[in-house]
Amino acid sequence: MCGIVGYIGTQQAAPLILEGLTRLEHRGYDSAGVAVLGGSKESALRVAKKAGRVRDLTDDLPKRFSGKVGIGHTRWATHGPANDVNAHPHTDTKGDVAVVHNGIIDNASTLRAQLAEDGIDLTSDTDTEVLAHLIARSTAETLEARVAEALSAVDGTYGLAVVHADFPDRIVVARNGSPLLIGVGEKEMLVASDLAALIRHTTMVAHLEDGEIATLTAGGFTTYRADLTSTHRTATEVDVDPATYEAGEHESFMHKEMLEQPDAAERVLRGRLDERFGTAHLGGLPMDARETRAIKRVKILGCGSAYYVGQMGASLIEELARIPADAEAASEFRYRNPVIEPDTLYVAVSQSGETIDTLLAVQEIHRKGGRCIGLVNVVGSAIARECEGGIYLHAGPEVAVASTKALTNMFLGFALLALQLGRVRDLSISDGKRLIAALLELPEQIGQVLEREEEIGEIAQVLADAESLFFVGRVRGFPVAREGAQKFKEISYRHAEAYQTSELKHGPLALISGDVPSVAIVPQDELTDRNVGALHEIAARGGPLVVITHPDVDLGEIECRRLDVPRSERELDPILLTIPLQLLAYRAALHLGHDIDKPRNLAKSVTVE
């Protein structure tokens, strides 16, 4: 959630760090800061930090802020309000040590009390400040040893970077539950919590594992375990075009990423469809036909939009493979002491592959002997490395907080998984071929929906003026409604709730009025008549209606704003019904003048519980 950038080399550190922090703004933050090591001991460590945006920090940075070693941070508040004092980096009393930190120190209160008893005056409300004081108090001979000693007293999660005035030739970094990547340049090294901050400078990257510490110097890096024995980690080339991290001609990354969905959909399907046998080939799944047939249940784990698309995926798996399947919020999973069954296939879903709740759920499954595969977008991410196998989404970098193209590719990943599971079991070859034909048409159909942005935008302006909305759908349509409500609330800041259409008469109808619009998902399927009947109930109570439906659905005389989407096979309809909801949320937020890529209080990669 927070952003870390560090640099050591031959260039001035501050401009590079500030540029990197700007590229991490999508991760969510409320303050920013930077620390640099200069040339003389008297002014070796200089710190500047400020509540607000990176540009506010840049505007206030002292004119003379030189140094070729530095660390920077964008903070998303967990301990204490957003202000200049709580912003990172944090230093010790003498100002010799500076620390930036992502994560949460669970025993921070105990450590703060111990430091206060020893006469140390803590100036911030944060958990991070204790790290700076612990490192400063250590008498170990090396900075690596001082950091390791401090971390041995810490319970919790962290991705951190440390500079010290007495060790001006290095940055020491460490990871436990919060991502850190090391970038290897020419006579320079970088560290960041997200590839976006590195990609303009290097494509040679090493991922730190949990429990590792690393030393960065201008000439290279060394990695260690907690006991400082070497782990010999090496960097590898990442195949990413830096231009994908640019919005280009688009007014926001969300708009760019929505329009990229047809191409992204083609990528996730490419090479994975076997039209001859009506099946999918997923080389990342470590299961033969015998192991596949032994699966008795599928459990999908994700957070936010990944959870809702997991519900769509569970429906696909039950329909096509006839295996009981359900989705659960990963953030709740391990806290209910779940029963882990050896014949259950667990699926972890995450765009970033670093979502801490989902990662901890995967670790709980493994702790109890279960098997878990991943659906992730980021190659080499923590969840991808933790799982036995999985499906890479190939959506390309997604910068906007509100997920669009990654969500679409998650759905298609589930469709491929369901198709492969189904064909090993009882799905006929004709049904397999029917679904493959529909999958191949989806990219073009998604493009057809996106071409109607202006029409959808007119409806969005009407919805934006409402203070509260309902999104309703049944069976396949209910997860679509949940995702629609999620998108609308997170970027328009309007209250939006999702309900099963069948549940309206069991409570929510009491809130229907002329001031509360309903967005209804009404596909052409076995429940069309019942869905239309519910629309009559809403209309009879004066509730404004927007209906996302198919061209051949007869809505009768119901007064509504109607949006038709192309029909696919009924199992695949949910993703086409989801696309206009993305556009509705986007255009509503645009109408309201919100910062679409950086919705308040939210972050792209949630790396703290």
Distance CA 246, CA 244 (A): 5
Lowest mean pLDDT across 324-328, 423-427, 467-471, 508-512: 508-512
Task: Identify the CATH number of the domain in which residue 474 sits.
Answer: 3.40.50.10490
Query: Is the residue at 142 inside a domain?
Result: yes
User: Does 608 reside within a domain?
Assistant: no
In DSSP terms, 386 is beta-bridged to none
CA-atom Rg of the chain in angstroms = 25
Supply φ then ψ for residue 173, to 5 degrees: -125, 160
Catalytic status, residue 604:
yes
**Catalytic residue of the set 49, 405, 598, 604:** 604
Residues 205-226 as b or e (16 or more Cβ within 10 Å = b): bbbbebebbbbbebeebbbbee
Q: Do 125 and 33 lie in a common domain? A: yes
Which of 198, 213, 244 terminates a domain? The answer is 244
Whether residue 283 sits in one domain with residue 225: no
Domains held by the chain: number: 3
126/68 same-domain check? yes
Query: Model confidence over 459-476: pLDDT tens digits?
Result: 999 999 999 999 999 999
Which of the listed residues 244, 269, 294 is the one where a domain comes to its end? 244
286 and 354 assigned to the same domain: yes
pLDDT beyond 90 at 104: no
Which H or E run includes 375?
A: strand 371-376
157-197 tens-digit pLDDT:
899 999 999 999 999 999 988 889 999 999 999 999 888 88
Is the pLDDT at 249 greater than 60, yes or no? Answer: yes
In a domain, 429, yes or no: yes
Kindly state whether residue 499 falls inside one of the protein's structural domains. Answer: yes
Q: Check: CB of residue 162 under 8 Å from CB of residue 173.
A: yes
How far CA 330 is from CA of 155, 189, 318, 327, 338, in Å, comes to 22, 35, 20, 9, 11
Q: Same domain, yes or no, for 342 and 368?
A: yes
Does the active-site annotation cover 68?
A: no
Q: What is the pLDDT of residues 16-43, one digit of tens each?
A: 999 999 888 766 678 899 999 975 554 5
Assess whether pLDDT exceeds 70 at residue 509: yes
In terms of Cβ atoms closer than 10 Å to its own Cβ (0-12, 13-18, 19+), residue 368 is middle
pLDDT tens digits along 470-504: 999 999 999 999 999 999 999 999 999 999 999 88
Which residue stretches of 471-524 are H helix?
Answer: 477-492
* DSSP secondary structure letters along 314-370: HHHHHHHH---EEEEEHHHHGGG-PPPPTTEEEEEEESSS--HHHHHHHHHHHHTT-
CATH number at residue 88: 3.60.20.10
User: Is 163 in the same domain as 59?
Assistant: yes
Predicted confidence (pLDDT) per residue in 110-152, tens digit? 999 999 999 998 999 898 999 999 999 999 999 999 999 999 9
* Residue 42: per-residue pLDDT: 47
DSSP letter, residue 26: G
Which pair of structure tokens corresponds to residue 422?
Answer: 């189904």
Q: Are residues 505 and 384 in the same domain?
A: no
**Are 254 and 378 members of one domain?**
yes
Domain assignment of residue 605, yes or no = no
Are residue 239 and residue 267 in the same domain, yes or no?
A: no
Please say which residue of 220, 244, 268 terminates a domain: 244
Cα 550 from Cα 568, distance rounded (Å): 10
Q: Do 155 and 267 reside in the same domain of the chain?
A: no
Distance CA 533, CA 539 (A): 10
- Classify residue 509: in a domain, yes or no: yes
Looking at the structure, tell me whether residues 227 and 252 fall in a common domain. Answer: no
| Domain limits for position 516 | 452-599
Q: In a 3-state reduction of DSSP, which class is residue 371?
A: strand
With contact defined as beta carbons under 8 Å apart, do 410 and 392 qualify? no
Q: Of these residues, 2, 303, 372, 387, which one is catalytic?
A: 2
Closest among 153, 180, 146 to 73, alpha carbons compared: 180
In a domain, 336, yes or no: yes
Q: Using 50, 70 and 90 to split pLDDT, how confident is the model at 64?
A: confident
Q: How many CB atoms lie within 10 A of CB 457?
A: 16
Sign of the Cα torsion 8, 10, 15, 16 reads negative
Same domain for 378 and 420, yes or no, is yes
Span 257-278, average pLDDT:
94
What value does the mean pLDDT take over residues 363-372?
94
Q: Is 604 part of any domain?
A: no
pLDDT computed for residue 10 by the predictor: 93
Q: Where does the pLDDT of residue 511 fall: very low under 50, low under 70, confident under 90, or very high at 90 and above?
A: confident
Ramachandran region, residue 70 (left: φ > 0; alpha: ψ -120 to 50; beta: rest): beta
